[in-house]
Amino acid sequence: MEIWINPACSKCRSALSLLDAEGADYTVRRYLEDVPSEDEIRDVLDRLGLEPWDITRTQEDAAKELGMKDWARDESSRDRWVRALSEHPRLIQRPIITAEDGTAVVGRTDEAVRDALSR
């Protein structure tokens, strides 16, 4: 199991605390320093069953500067979104936990983290 975190994020710290409390075996990826490639983002999106706009923090300054709220949200625009997430990793919703069964969850709640643990 791997968890993508920003150490400054309270939701990430909560997820880590819960994983530790449950004795989970996991690897931490500080995704702002170890930036995921476009292929890694696509893989995580497939595991999440989501589209890139579903995990984009559109209220971040970078998203506003890029005008992302006006970007099309369709298959032909998918690569543009993925590229933006790779170039601006702060835009990626966090934390993301990859589960042992090949799926992933956005672990913003205790329930989502527990869901990842149960997989």
- 12 assigned to active site: no
Measured between alpha carbons, how far is 117 from 85 in angstroms, rounded to an integer?
Answer: 26
Identified catalytic residue from 1, 9, 24, 35: 9
Beta-ladder partners of 27? 2
Residue written as token pair 């589209």:
51
Helix axes 78-87, 38-48, angle to 10 degrees: 120
Is the Cβ–Cβ distance between 42 and 48 less than 8 Å? no
Residue written as token pair 């819960």:
18
The residues carrying an active-site annotation are 9
